[in-house]
Copies of this chain bind each other. A is one copy, B any other.
Amino acid sequence: MNEDIIKSIQNILDHDNQETREKLKELFKNEVFIPRYSISLKEERELAYKRLKIICENNVISTHDFGNNPCRIFSVHEIVGQMDGSTATKMTVQFNLFGGTIFGLGNKKHHETYLDSIDKLDTVGCFAFTELGYGNNAVEMKTTATYKHENNSFIINTPETLARKYWITNGAIHATHAVVFARLIIKEEDEGVHAFLVKIRDVNMESTHGISIWDMGHKIGSNGVDNASIGFNNISISKDSLLGDISKIDENGVFSSKIKSKRGRLLFLADRLLSGRLCIASMMLGAAKYTLETAIIYGKTRKAVGEDGKSTSPILDYQLQQRALMPLLVKTYAYNFALNYAKDLYQNNKEDKQIEKLILCCSIKAILSWHNERTASICRERCGGQGFLSVNRFGEAIMGSHAGITAEGDNKVLMQKVSKELLTMYKNNKAKILFTNILSKFPVLLRLTYGFTFKNINNPGVQCKLLNFRKELLISKLALRIRDAKKPNNSIFNIWMKEESDTVQQLAHSYIDHVTLVETIKNENKCDSSVKIYFNKVRNLYALSNIEENLSWYMTQGLLTKHQSRKLTKLSQLLCSDLVKYSGDLCDAFGIPKHMKTAPIANDWIKYNDFDNKGELLESARIW
């Protein structure tokens, strides 16, 4: 590939806010952004704070972006996530969960007082949502905000240990304010969870009287993030701390709300969890690009036994390495296309696309954090001992992906939500459900109806039909099972949670897999012919890898014969070995500049080992 083609590809991957991205990467030339490893927890946290501070001082991200350019926020997450997961995590809480909530729910006074200060990191915020015992059932959270009409205030209280706010990012050290979620109690009525802006530290950064903030200490990753467990002992806050104009308490102390259901109120107020999923998905994408490029570069320079028995063969020439890394490379591309689509959907925010926005935000976060985990673990393994040195950055990526898997909703729980919405969407299409189900019993008829022929298995249309049919049949099967739920001694809860869990998960996967393929095909169709030949390879291997991963399912449905499934594997192997030739260029198109590629094995790693480097990137050990 020539430079122009690589640049064109980068333009497609980095589909928005390219200037901001470049500005940010330039910032990372500052010494503060050079990775450090053997430092104390305290230093690690200060480093993440310092890095975030520099980012904030350079106007690359603002809470106001939620008004006119949310994509900018997501893109900044991708680039910062590529540099340091801890900084990105502190940033996502500051700008999305905290700042975004103030932007979205605050009144004019809140905006005037806080937004600029948040952008500059003078006001540091946290999002006190999750409780120790109710992280998996937020609507049941126990913290209370009891309205006292006599002095126009709320009393915030933590009734039990299980109700302590838990995992609160920025809470242990840096936050001055918190958006606190609590059940609004008024005249002994529980009006459900509402959000309140609470000052948690004074000018000396001492915690406010009545608030206990406990440092959660050492974590398995992202230790630059300071997480806290926070408890409130009947602290009083003013009436105008209530955020959002959906619920009001009038001058007579009478409560009213535009939203009737308590669950609805919570969902409205916690809306930033949705954009938060795109923030996390973007961080995950950034990290996956980094680790993958590192492993692929190393694979080209690391030699092992060749045909002559000498150490003459780059390990990337081995099929073993190719079969491990190439599917990860095409998935990274495909998920990038899907994420771009999700970001656009979020930004455009059309009335008729609300459900799609919801399930896409949930599933793209899930699929990208899992993908990042697999990418980091497999790349670590394929880089052997070198992969085990912190300085080569696989450890951060593995642990960062675990944070992503759990944050802003456990992946598997989000996938349940996706399947639930899909079922609801199809609920009224009973004929289709039955038809799909009947069709599935007659594979020959099915092939005819959908027009599958194996000889066209490389055809995007055929691939798309296969993935789409998988989704539709899973919907159909699940819908019919739910119908059974109406029989005695059976409940939807039972079927959902105790009998069809595998199908529920598979369905959500099949949905995002299909969307991903559709978006990949769209990008293949609309790009220049110079780029198309590469996107064609990417799309083809993505689709075939996906079918291969679900091979037994397709066989069970009679959509692939024994003979065809053997051929499919062979085809997929050939595509992997073909793609290797372009893998370096495809990684170049990730646009990671030289000064960010600090991992020694993404550089002249022999030179790095010429001297006593102490496993760090000291002045003398900078080889890039």
Contacts and interface: CB of A to CB of B under 8 A. Distances in A.
B390 A406 contact: no
B573 A562 contact: no
Contacts of A309: 139-140
A555 interface: yes
Interface stretch (A13-21, A76-84, A276-284, A378-386): A378-386
Nearest to A218: B37
A377 interface: yes
Given A317-B498, A388-B406, A566-B556, A304 B137 contact: yes
Interface string A496-511: 0111111001000000
A303 B562 CA distance: 44
B398 A220 contact: yes
B167 A385 contact: yes
Contact of A614 (B133, B214, B219): B214
A390 B220 CA distance: 5
A94 interface: no
A104 interface: no
Nearest to A130: B385
B556 A320 contact: no
A103 interface: no
A125 to B, nearest CB: 20
Given A40-B40, A555-B552, A390 B615 contact: no
Nearest to A410: B384
A119 interface: no
Interface string A114-157: 00000000000000001011111101100000000000000000
A63 B259 CA distance: 73
A377 B380 contact: no
Copies of this polypeptide in the complex: 2
Nearest to A390: B218
Given A136-B305, A219-B388, A501 B318 contact: yes
Contacts of A555: 552, 555-556, 562, 565
A151 to B, nearest CB: 31
Contacts of A556: 555, 562, 565-566
Contact of A217 (B38, B41, B499): B38
Contact of A219 (B398, B562, B606, B615): B615
Interface stretch (A158-166, A250-258, A522-530): A158-166
B140 A498 contact: no
Interface string A396-408: 1011001101100
Contacts of A139: 309
Interface in A272-327: 303-307, 309-311, 313, 315, 317-320, 323
Contacts of A323: 501-502
Nearest to A496: B319
Given A219-B389, A303-B133, A307-B491, A577 B498 contact: yes
A613 B406 contact: no
Q: Which of A166, A384, A399, A500 has the most CB of B within 10 A?
A: A384
A519 interface: no
Interface in A177-198: none
A569 interface: yes
A452 to B, nearest CB: 16
19 contacts: A134-B311, A136-B304, A136-B305, A140-B310, A215-B614, A218-B391, A219-B390, A220-B380, A220-B389, A221-B395, A318-B497, A319-B501, A381-B402, A381-B406, A381-B410, A384-B410, A552-B555, A555-B555, A558-B562
Nearest 6 pairs of A and B residues by beta carbon = A217-B615, A220-B395, A37-B218, A319-B501, A551-B552, A552-B552
Given A132-B609, A166-B609, A373-B377, 7 more contacts: A37-B218, A40-B40, A164-B609, A214-B613, A317-B498, A319-B497, A320-B497
Interface of A: 37-38, 40-41, 130, 132-137, 139-140, 161-162, 164, 166-167, 212, 214-221, 229, 303-307, 309-311, 313, 315, 317-320, 323, 373, 377, 380-381, 384-385, 387-391, 394-396, 398-399, 402-403, 405-406, 410-412, 491, 493-494, 497-502, 505, 551-552, 555-558, 562, 565-566, 569, 573, 577, 606-607, 609-616
